Amino acid sequence: MRMKHLAIVAALVLGLTSSAFAGQKIKIAGSTTILPIMQRVVEAYMKANPDVEIAVSGGGSSNGIKALLDGTTDIAMASRTMKDKEIKMAAEKGMNPKQVVIALDAVIPIVNKSNPVNDLTIDQLQAIYAGKVTNWKEVGGKDEGIVVVSRDTSSGTYETWSHFVMGKTRVFPGALLQASSGAVLQAVAKNPRAISYDGIGYVDNSVKPLTVNGVEGNATTAKDKSFPVARTLQVYVDGSVSGAAKGLIDFILSPEGQNIVEEAGFIKL
């Protein structure tokens, strides 16, 4: 009888847990870099909380932050930190955005698998993206023109590349802009002369990753910051998050959530 009683109590507790957030809806938007992490996390979270409705969309870090400030999303995914002007805009609206770092990342230069180049320095990458170096032979490759592929300006990955690689130099107008991390990967995989950059979770065997200043981008070099283009991945919420949204963020930061980060190809905290 005691075992039966305990089973009933356990069932009641589980029922309360699964229905604690019943009817709550969460909107998540922003970084396409974080998108594969969030999609996996949301799938696992909704299995445990089937009564919660969650909508996830990309669009880029800037668009995600804008949506948060406009009140059209609950959680903004961002592969860069908020800019001063965005923080000021939030303050003017009476908002208090909170940053929650959920993973680490290395933004890795990628080329076509047929390209013999293995390593580029920050200076060489900057010269290529500024349009000053236009032939692969200038950096140890074949005698053929370089096709520069870049993320679009609403992307946090673009902002990261601008900060760590370009500095005050602008990406030249001839660069082919792509709207998502996946599109970047496909563009480089299909073009033997192309170069671009992508978050570590997207880089697969369809392209060739390059070392930067002789350093490979991986979990160790991202954590110790020896890789020159390492960054945090974060979400933003307005003020003190609560309810199902807090439950989701707590889940991302839990050991199970961090394992999902790693399974998605990114670097857990």
Question: Does residue 4 form part of some domain?
Answer: no
Say how many domains are in the chain.
2
Instruction: For residue 79, give Cα distances in angstroms to 19, 27, 37, 128, 193.
Output: 32, 18, 12, 23, 27
pLDDT in tens, 68-117: 999 999 999 999 999 999 999 999 999 999 999 999 999 999 999 999 99
Q: What is the mean pLDDT of the chain?
A: 91
Tell me how long the chain is. Answer: 269
| Per-residue model confidence as pLDDT tens digits over 211-226 | 999 999 999 999 999 9
In 3D, which of 151, 146, 147 has the Cα closest to residue 177? 151
What's the pLDDT tens digit per position in 111-165? 999 999 999 999 999 999 999 999 999 999 999 999 999 999 989 999 999 999 9
pLDDT, tens digit, for every residue of 10-24?
A: 333 334 444 566 678
Which SS3 state, helix, strand or coil, does residue 77 take?
strand
What is the average pLDDT across 61-65? 95
Residue 221 sits in the same domain as residue 259: no
Residue 7 lies in a domain: no
Residue 247 lies in a domain: yes
Domain limits for position 173? 105-230
Q: What is the pTM for the complete model shown? A: 0.84
* Per-residue pLDDT, 27: 97
Instruction: Confirm whether 160 is domain-assigned.
Output: yes
